Structure 1
Amino acid sequence: MDFLISGLLAITWKQLVMYLIGLLLIYLAIKKEYEPSLLLPMGFGAILVNLPFSSALNQVVSGVGETQGIVEWLFHIGIEASEALPILLFIGIGAMIDFGPLLSKPALFLYGAAAQFGIFAALILATLLGFDLKDAASISIIGAADGPTSILVSQILHSNYIGAIAVAAYSYMALVPIIQPFAIRLVTTKKERTMTMNYQASSVSKRVRIAFPIVVTFIVGLIAPTSVSLVGFLMFGNLIRECGVLGTMSETAQNTLANLITLFLGITISFSMQAESFVRTDTLLIMAIGLFAFIFDTIGGVLFAKFLNLFLKEKINPMVGAAGISAFPMSSRVVQKLALSENPQNILIMHAAGANVSGQIASAIAGGLMITLVSAYL
């Protein structure tokens, strides 16, 4: 009984805040179905690591010495020491992606590159607001709308805000259907949003599909070596999908592996959501900068498409540019849904899908470049 009372008395107001944040994440996962596979374990983990004397964390026990906490151990092994969990998740993501729409229209890769604008805008903003360069760079990657990339970059750069960055990245991924339509409408007219586009699918040979992940890995490895782990594992997963001789392995990567790693990653990242390091004014500022980055990634893609329309005979619906962020396949679906709401005859899904998968590659490259630039500067 004394132990129970001591536990209750040991709860701080910051831990109470974390319990509320954990419950909010669980609510959003279950009730709203916002990224439930991630927000639910993150929410539960936030409660787990903020209970007084939690055995999920390393503890010094009288007469026994230090005991190993499972969440802290997982964080050290899977993220801090090796970045294994976020990188392994890319195998599953790669196995899910069909690069056919992008290979049919390679020019769509430009939209993925343009939709990384918010990352670099957020880097400048975070630096001006007083964050040091490694933290500013880590925060800016939230704009990629790619949780594993955000975690990896912030861990490699030894950011002080890994937990806040992970929560922001996955929260904004979940809020794509709310944030992106708002950002798109800010910089487009009704006429632009109702613009129709023809799509003539050209067949992509199996040989090209197999060669693509191999060639991309070579190119990225030579241009941005620090992106190899991200892009390489993404391409490896896609090669498993496209080779045609590893059907069972492809299904395992898409389902069992991706789900298992996502489960472990969600609850493991909660180690960095301990109250003392999470409940700070900086956390709110990080959430605001992350939202800024996410919105300006979307706007960057749209404005790039509008710029191309100044020179193209066959005009592009600017909304396709918004799909260049890394949130796959949510962003392409959001663009298609918005297009249909503006014009029931408007079918943009294949164009948007091509831009969306290019965003996966572009965000991984952007993360690697950010690590390279910051490391070189420091």
Structure 2
Amino acid sequence: GFATMTWGNVLMIVIGLLFIPLPITKHYEPLLLLPIGFGAIVGNIPSIPGMALSVYDEGSVLNYLYFGVRQGIYPPLIFLGIGAMTDFSAMLSSPRLVLLGAAAQVGIFLTLIGVLYLGFTPEEAGAIGIIGGADGPTAIFLSAKLAPHLIGAIAVAAYSYMALVPVIQPPIMKLLTTHKERLIRMPPPRQVSSRERIVFPIAAFLIAALIAPGSLALVGMLMFGNLLKESGVT
């Protein structure tokens, strides 16, 4: 292992070791940083000639697991879990909050334009640009289709960026708001009926799938997971 190790492997292993303590000691996004940190270590153990062990060795167990990344199998499964953990009641009680989610798309286009300016191809720029929407599974799903050679870098960048939001947000919020504004008590949202919570994932899926059929797998699994949660029978 040491004989074939490169400085790139060493650097990524060190980064993985730095990621692991953050969710354990600081409770920063444990569902993201802990597997990312350990995965960075496992994925950078160098190949050993004659032994199918690493992620990129044909026939190895890790290579079979990586098949799910290359073919975009894992992101829809992740979205299924996200949907099952998501409560859309706040948005349903105040639909104008959708505009906050729409604002994230600005980040996608700004990133896309910036990456094109740096000389990346349109396909690579599209895969990288989706990171601007703060969505890790979508970044993996899209990069697997548009720029498979960048999937590792994009996945690490997207999930690291998402996981570090608790570190990035507080100083920005303090910069953009006054102390008095931060003390404002928001009125409680209206009570959302069970029927609304059940109808929403079905309606949202139909609208998204008909307008953008390419979102079928991700949005379908997201809304299916939410329907399982809200139905109360699973």
TM class by smaller structure: 0.7 to 0.9
Q: Using CA pairs below 8 Å that are at least 6 residues apart, which structure has the higher relative contact order?
A: 1
1:279-290 correspondence runs (5 A): none
Deviation digits for residues 70-113 of structure 1 (CA, Å, limit 9, x no counterpart): 1111111x1223x1211111111111111111111111111111
Q: Partner of 2:161 in structure 1?
A: 172
CA contact (8 A) 1:119 1:143 kept: yes
Q: Which amino acid aligns with 2:36?
A: M
Q: Which amino acid aligns with 1:56?
A: S
Q: Which amino acid aligns with 1:80?
A: R
Among 186, 196, 216, the residue aligned to 1:228: 216
Kindly tell me: are residues 10 and 189 of structure 1, through their superposed partners in 2, closer, same or farther at Cα, counting changes over 3 Å? closer
- CA distance in 1 between partners of 2:16 and 2:96 (Å): 42
CA contact (8 A) 2:208 2:215 kept: yes
Deviation digits for residues 245-269 of structure 1 (CA, Å, limit 9, x no counterpart): 22xxxxxxxxxxxxxxxxxxxxxxx
**Alpha-carbon shift at residue 209 of structure 1 (Å):** 1.3
Q: Partner of 1:79 in structure 2?
A: 69
In the alignment, structure 1 segments of 5+ residues that lack a partner are 1-6, 60-66, 247-378
Kindly tell me: are residues 58 and 154 of structure 1, through their superposed partners in 2, closer, same or farther at Cα, counting changes over 3 Å? closer
Q: Is 1:145–2:143 an aligned residue pair?
A: no
Q: CA-atom RMSD, angstroms?
A: 2.2
Kindly tell me: are residues 215 and 193 of structure 1, through their superposed partners in 2, closer, same or farther at Cα, counting changes over 3 Å? same
- CA distance in 2 between partners of 1:28 and 1:72 (Å): 28
Q: Partner of 2:191 in structure 1?
A: 203
Q: Partner of 1:34 in structure 2?
A: 28
TM-score w.r.t. structure 1 length?
A: 0.56
Q: Is 1:218–2:195 an aligned residue pair?
A: no
TM-score w.r.t. structure 2 length?
A: 0.88
Q: Which amino acid aligns with 1:108?
A: L
- CA distance in 2 between partners of 1:112 and 1:96 (Å): 18
Count how many residue pairs are aligned between Structure 1 and Structure 2.
Answer: 230
1:158-169 correspondence runs (5 A): 158-169=147-158
Q: Which amino acid aligns with 2:32?
A: L
SS at match of 1:31: helix
CA contact (8 A) 1:135 1:159 kept: no
Q: Which stretch shifts more, 175-184 or 130-139?
A: 175-184
1:44-63 correspondence runs (5 A): 44-54=38-48, 55-57=53-55, 59=57
SS at match of 1:116: helix
